[in-house]
Amino acid sequence: MRNPKPYFWMMALCLTLCLQGCRLSPHLEKEEPPQEPTAQLTIAYTEDSLLYLPLYVAINQDFFQKENLIINLQRTNSQEAVEGLRTGQYDLMLNGAEIGFYVYQQEHEDKLVFIGQTAIKNGSFLLARKNEETFTWSAVKGKVIISTASGDTSTIILENILRQHRLRPFLDVHLINNLPPLLRPGTFSGGTAHFILTTEPTATILEKEEAGQVVASLDEQLQVNVPTVFITTKSQLKENQELYQRFITALQQGLSWVNQHSPEEIATVAQSFFPEQEEKILLRGICRYKNLGCWPETPLLTGKELLPLQQLLLDAQELNSPLPLHELLAPLS
């Protein structure tokens, strides 16, 4: 009878080599999905506003970091922001959608396009210097209102409302529309004008200082969705579409967080972006915006949603003719 030991050791050796081969085979190793490279996006904006909460939340909750994005915020004016987009100084601009319409009709080669939205309401309130128990629009006749810049949707809506009440802007009501955003609250607190048009948290801050009292919401007076949007140029979109898609993915998470959490939880996050303000001031402004339905379910825009705003701009004679709205929208998902 043959000795079985040589066969046993030969089989053991073959099995060992086979197992080592399986372990070392690169085809059987679990491959990690490739990670997107980290990129920085600089966003130009004109003033701090609670309308931007989905952006603030996405930064605070590291939603952008999970998409390997670093967000830099840079305050400037609208004109410099547009020029900065064209030179590559800024990657995005956060502004009212009206500026995209205005630039388009200037027939500039590099058009502006909307990447997504952070709010669907204008968010502006009219504050009176005195506490009006029962405010009526006739009360502004012969008075002075500090408004936003000429051509800004807040001022366009205000003028529209005045005309509905048979009040002629600049004839029956004087509008101050040449003040930079940062100077408007202080000018009103200093005694200039009878009314002021402003957003949150400035409206609540002025109330706390007893400089004014909210008497009307523009969004309640005129039922037109006016989106606040992230804007870039067509050339930048073409070069960095994947980058902007990652931005929208993170922004969607910010929007969802805002819509799913309580005003108290949101105020805690907002505090880091308004460090000089008391949390209860931010809470009041957030509650007002929640009640108005300022924040959408999705950051993505459609041409149909832009139609009411375009009609508003046409009625105000800020646009010469209707635009092909699909050309203002980035093809993101």
Contact by Cβ (8 Å): 169, 163: yes
Strands (E), the chain: 39-45, 69-75, 92-96, 112-119, 125-128, 144-146, 174-176, 195-198, 213-217, 228-233
Q: How crowded is residue 315: how many other Cβ atoms within 10 Å of its Cβ?
A: 13
- Indicate the SS3 state at residue 231: strand
pLDDT of residue 33: 54
**DSSP H or E segment with residue 110:** none
pLDDT digits (tens, 9 = 90+) for 32-56: 555 677 899 999 999 999 999 999 9
Banded pLDDT at 22 (limits 50, 70, 90)? very low
Asked if the model's pLDDT at residue 333 lies above 90, the reply is no
Measured in degrees and rounded to the nearest 5, phi and psi for residue 170 equal 75, -10
pLDDT of residue 32: 55
Measured in degrees and rounded to the nearest 5, phi and psi for residue 213 equal -140, 130
Give the mean pLDDT of 128-150.
90
Residue ranges per structural domain of the chain: 39-121+225-328, 125-221
Asked if the model's pLDDT at residue 1 lies above 60, the reply is no
- Quick check: do 39-121+225-328 and 125-221 share a fold? yes
The CATH number given to 125-221 is 3.40.190.10
Give me the chain's average pLDDT, please: 89
pLDDT of residue 25: 44
- Top-confidence residue, 222 or 198: 198
Give the mean pLDDT of 8-27.
45
pLDDT digits (tens, 9 = 90+) for 63-104: 999 999 999 999 999 999 999 999 999 999 999 999 999 999
pLDDT of residue 31: 56
- Top-confidence residue, 5 or 215: 215
Give the mean pLDDT of 186-202.
96
DSSP-derived letter for residue 271 is G
Give the mean pLDDT of 276-286.
95
* pTM as predicted: 0.86
39-121+225-328 has which fold? D-Maltodextrin-Binding Protein; domain 2 (3.40.190)
pLDDT of residue 132: 62
